[in-house]
Amino acid sequence: MQLTRRTLLAGSAVLATPAITLGQPTPSGPIRIGEINSYTAVPAFTLPYRNGWQLAVEQVNAAGGVLGRQLEVVSRDDAGRPQDAVRIAGELLNEQKVDLLAGGFLSNVGLAISDFALQNKRLYVASEPLADALVWEKGHRYCFRLRPSTYMQAAMLVPDAAKFPARRWVSVAPNYEYGTSTVKWFKQLLAQARPDVEFVAEQLPALGRIDAGATVAALEAAKPEAILNVTFGPDLTNFVRQGNTRGLFDQRSVVSVLTGEPEYLEPLGDETPAGWLVTGYPVDSVSDPANAAFIAAYRARFGAAPKMGSVVGHAMVSAIVAGILKAGGTATEAMCDAFPGATFDTPFGRAMWRAIDHQSTLGTYVGRTALKGGKGSMVDWRYVDGAAALPSDEVVRRLRPG
């Protein structure tokens, strides 16, 4: 059994379908998801993400719920602090009696929730954290991760990056798990494709506290031919502004993870550099049926176009519902047995929870940045299925314990 694109993404007529009420068990109150995220710390991504999961919950409930029960999300703000996330997770399980945990944005927060889930033997669906450790080095039975990981993001970008004539590279990334992991994998994968490449400098500013002028000066001093950027949010805006002012990007190739996401393109405005190789979501130009239906439903509900966070929030609900349907209920051990192999539909198409590492096969888009009408845009894009950007099972077995 699976949650279909027809159920979640279409209009009001489709919302009446009874597809997700299969099984007809005796209702026993709502299914409760305990959701934790950095709403005040990273609002540009997490607020559209909240809209996404709210829309999905409304659609599921309008179609009859899950196994005869309504779906409910009990949401809390961790303010970007791992210790707060762990405290909240305990409150959600012990006081709110949620059936499972979900959410997380920053990788260090996601890892903290995952460790809590392992210690307490409760299911955690990591919707946004990108650190590979969640499903590999620190992976375990109770943790599943939705978004394309740092390895996957790098693997999607390297084939085009390897075609650059550049040999001398530099990198800039926030100094925590997401940033260092992305740089590590990009270096390794690029070296396999281009053994002649060398990284001659690295900058690791603290998240949210980049000294953009000093960072740009240090990178410029290394005389690079290409740049890997892993900053996002306000750090990205400051880095781009200083880089434009000081000519860092002139005549240099730039690869930039996540920068094509509307959350990060929009604040750049007319300062958006053209020609960067990025991952993202070209929401203004995608037209396939799944995306079109999702965008229309989201616009009707919120009066604005969705962002990448919106996609993740919506997909999180369908991914959880698919596992619950396959399990036939919300008993933790039954869900942990059922999630592997469960398939679900997303605005980006069909995805699956992999059995070997609990990573979903949700993909993302790769393209180039462009300036259109004074606004940043993503052009020359293609969708990369997440399954195509993952290493072999043999590699995963070496990385994942047990």
Please name the helix (run of DSSP H) or strand (run of DSSP E) that holds residue 183, with its range, or none: helix 177-193
pLDDT value for 162 = 98
Check residue 154 and give its pLDDT: 98
Confidence tier at 76 by pLDDT (50, 70, 90): very high
Residues 230 and 331 in one domain: no
Q: Is the pLDDT of residue 8 over 80?
A: no
User: Taking residues 366-388, what's their average pLDDT?
Assistant: 96
- pTM (2 d.p.): 0.92
Q: What would the mean pLDDT of 177-184 be, rounded to a whole number?
A: 95
Tell me the mean pLDDT in the region 216-224: 97
Higher pLDDT, 7 or 319: 319
In this structure, what is the dihedral angle of CA atoms 125, 131, 132, 134, given to the nearest 10 degrees?
-40
As beta bridge partners, residue 359 has 145
Residue range 168-175: mean pLDDT, rounded? 98
Residues 315 and 357 in one domain: yes
Residue 25 has pLDDT above 60, yes or no: no
14 has a pLDDT exceeding 50 = no
* 272 and 136 part of one domain: no
Q: How far apart are CA 272 and CA 262, in angstroms?
A: 12
Residues 61 and 200 in one domain: no
**Do 34 and 138 fall into the same domain?**
yes
Same domain, 34 and 124: yes
Give me the long-range contacts of 244-253 (CB less than 8 A, separation at least 24).
Answer: 244/271, 244/273, 246/213, 246/216, 246/217, 246/220, 247/220, 248/216, 248/219, 248/220, 249/273, 252/166, 252/224, 252/225, 252/226, 252/227, 253/161, 253/164, 253/166, 253/225, 253/226, 253/227, 253/277
On whether both 331 and 372 belong to a single domain, the answer is: no
Q: In this structure, are residues 318 and 346 in contact, taking their beta carbons and an 8 Å threshold?
A: yes
Number of domains the chain is built from:
2
Cβ distance 355 to 340 under 8 Å?
Answer: yes
Residues 250 and 273 in one domain: yes
CA distances from 114 to 81, 142, 174, 178 (A): 14, 8, 21, 15
Q: Does the pLDDT at position 228 exceed 70?
A: yes
CA–CA gap between residue 327 and residue 5 (Å, rounded): 20
State whether 298 and 224 are in the same domain.
no
Which residues contact residue 95 at a Cβ distance below 8 angstroms, ignoring those fewer than 6 apart? none
Look up the CATH number of the domain holding residue 156.
3.40.50.2300
Q: Are strands 198-203 and 168-172 parallel, antiparallel or unpaired?
A: parallel
Domain check: are 82 and 135 in the same one?
A: yes
Q: Tell me the residue range of the domain where 135 lies.
A: 5-149+286-362
Residues 143 and 272 in one domain: no
Q: What is the pLDDT of residue 28?
A: 72
- Residue 3 confidence (pLDDT): 46
Same domain for 14 and 79, yes or no, is yes
